[in-house]
Structure 1
Amino acid sequence: MTPSKYLATLAGTALMLGGGAHAAQKETLHYLTSADVEPVMILPKPFAPGSDGENAELAELHRIIASASAARMAQAKWDDAHEDPALFDDVLGVKLEVMPATWALLSEVQEEGEVAADVSKNYFDRARPWATDSTLANCDAGKNANPRRSYPSGHSTLSYSVGFVLARLVPEKADVILSRAADYAMSRQVCGVHYPSDTEASHVLATIIGTKLLANPSFVAKMAAARSELRAAHLTHW
């Protein structure tokens, strides 16, 4: 299967909302159940080591990194070092951390995503691209990073899941919020720490997380407080 067909397969799973045997979960999974994020039920296997698909993805990463401008690489490194909902501050024109109800809600989304991504990372145990190809420039150099935490991307799960919820809190800025989520995920490829299929898997997982959260009465109740806060800050009229 070619990378493009593989990514299309991933995208087509975005509305499959889990089921099957329970996966191991951490105590910080508050809203979802382990069945909701069962890896084998929501994500296909990544390309096998040494396969044509993996080699094509590595070649694509080399192309992305070589063609990245200095400004884009600087953005990727900033994104690498900042893993929280503040990634959306610039597009909203406000510091989310000073908005307690909103920050607390989005932090819960992040926490739920971290646990869900961790389950899949452990299940698929995919080597990072730089662990497979030592010639690949990457943002993990010198960090003693775990070489087997590639699929899916935790950073990308954060941006897509928080972006999913934030776009519904501030629908007037949904386009720039979702664009920033995608750009943040792209930074993982520019950084050479994730394959394209890793970040697309995160998009699928985050869509499932967001959909499940918006169907949870306890979570929806907290959204009301966040929306009121955002309305008071003149970020939304909803």
Structure 2
Amino acid sequence: MRRQALIVLVAVLLAGATSPALAQGGLPTPASPKSPTVSKFLQPGELDPALVLPPPPKDDAPAAVEGRAELHRLAAARSSDRLEQAKRDDELEDVRAIAAAIGPALDFSRLPATAALFRDLRTEDSVAAKHAKAFFKRERPFRFDKDLDVCDDGHDVRNSYPSGHATMGYSAAAVLANLMPGNAQVILARASDYAESRLYCGVHYRSDLEAGQVLGNVLVQKLMTKPAFQAELEAARAELTALHIAP
């Protein structure tokens, strides 16, 4: 049922509408604080994690035990290149990680309206993920399995469900695909691969990624109903169209 709902959400968002190297040009420094706590577009309680996501499996539940076993299998099978990619994805948590799928044409340094849109979206996905994590309080898998080979064990131990990287990646992908429908498949594939990096890093369960996918898409669905967000989206669309980057 959850997967079917997600498919419907993605279809709505996109209506009308192997990991490459990062696109050249950087996303301008966000104007928002590093740890934003307030949404620009949504009212408090409008995105209630208890209504959007099911609770994660308990730490000793069979699903959680299998989730940690999956991380061991992936660590044993991963190539050095896939591990390095996972480490790069761990460090880059903004739209550039997803826009890499499109190539150097999407240079945010010369796209001020598009950069502004994704700066604000980054604030929104960060607020949504932090709120959900604080609500569910799920600990990281390596807290229960010291033998896991992780990219970075300095993460907040109560910071696992949903994955913030996955929430960011899928929300950014939904908006990018709306702006550039001709690239939708490669954009969404990159979002999925980006999320998978969290497993190769050993810092999330697969259910964390699935929850991030749902939360990211529900977030964008709600933002699409807000006139202020729609105005930013259309300004970015006009900018991309004027530069012949998008139709």
Task: Please give the TM-score of this superposition, normalised by the length of structure 2.
Answer: 0.83
Q: Greater CA deviation, 78-87 or 65-74?
A: 65-74
- Would the aligned equivalents of 1:169 and 1:227 in 2 still touch at CA under 8 Å? yes
Alignment equivalent of 2:118, drawn from 102, 106, 118: 106
| CA distance in 1: counterparts of 2:137 and 2:5, whole angstroms | 20
Alignment equivalent of 1:36, drawn from 23, 46, 53: 46
- Would the aligned equivalents of 1:73 and 1:191 in 2 still touch at CA under 8 Å? yes
- Would the aligned equivalents of 1:97 and 1:103 in 2 still touch at CA under 8 Å? yes
Cross-structure match for 2:143: 131
- Would the aligned equivalents of 1:85 and 1:96 in 2 still touch at CA under 8 Å? no
| CA distance in 2: counterparts of 1:116 and 1:96, whole angstroms | 27
- Would the aligned equivalents of 2:142 and 2:148 in 1 still touch at CA under 8 Å? yes
- Would the aligned equivalents of 1:102 and 1:229 in 2 still touch at CA under 8 Å? yes
User: How far off is 1:225 after superposition?
Assistant: 1.3
The Cα offsets for residues 6-38 of structure 1, whole Å up to 9 and x where unpaired, read as: xxx54345479xxxxxxxxx6531112333321
Alignment equivalent of 1:176, drawn from 170, 186, 197: 186
Structure 2 runs not aligned, ≥5 long: 10-35
Cross-structure match for 1:83: 93
| CA distance in 2: counterparts of 1:191 and 1:11, whole angstroms | 24
Paired residue type of 1:97: F
Task: Please give the TM-score of this superposition, normalised by the length of structure 1.
Answer: 0.86
- Would the aligned equivalents of 2:99 and 2:187 in 1 still touch at CA under 8 Å? no
User: How far off is 1:203 after superposition?
Assistant: 0.5
- Would the aligned equivalents of 1:62 and 1:136 in 2 still touch at CA under 8 Å? yes
Provide closer, same or farther for how the CA distance between residues 131 and 96 of structure 1 changes in structure 2, counting only shifts above 3 A: farther
Q: Which runs of structure 2 are paired with 1:190-229 in the superposition (5 Å)?
A: 190-229=200-239
* 1:156 aligns to 2:166 (yes or no): yes
Cross-structure match for 1:97: 108
Count of residues in Structure 1 that have an aligned counterpart in Structure 2: 218
- Would the aligned equivalents of 2:98 and 2:194 in 1 still touch at CA under 8 Å? no
| CA distance in 2: counterparts of 1:134 and 1:12, whole angstroms | 35
Provide closer, same or farther for how the CA distance between residues 46 and 236 of structure 1 changes in structure 2, counting only shifts above 3 A: same
User: How far off is 1:41 after superposition?
Assistant: 0.8
User: How far off is 1:103 after superposition?
Assistant: 1.1
Cross-structure match for 1:11: 3
| CA distance in 1: counterparts of 2:131 and 2:98, whole angstroms | 26
Provide closer, same or farther for how the CA distance between residues 166 and 54 of structure 1 changes in structure 2, counting only shifts above 3 A: same
Cross-structure match for 2:67: 57
Paired residue type of 1:126: R
The Cα offsets for residues 77-124 of structure 1, whole Å up to 9 and x where unpaired, read as: 000011111113422223543111111101211110110111110011
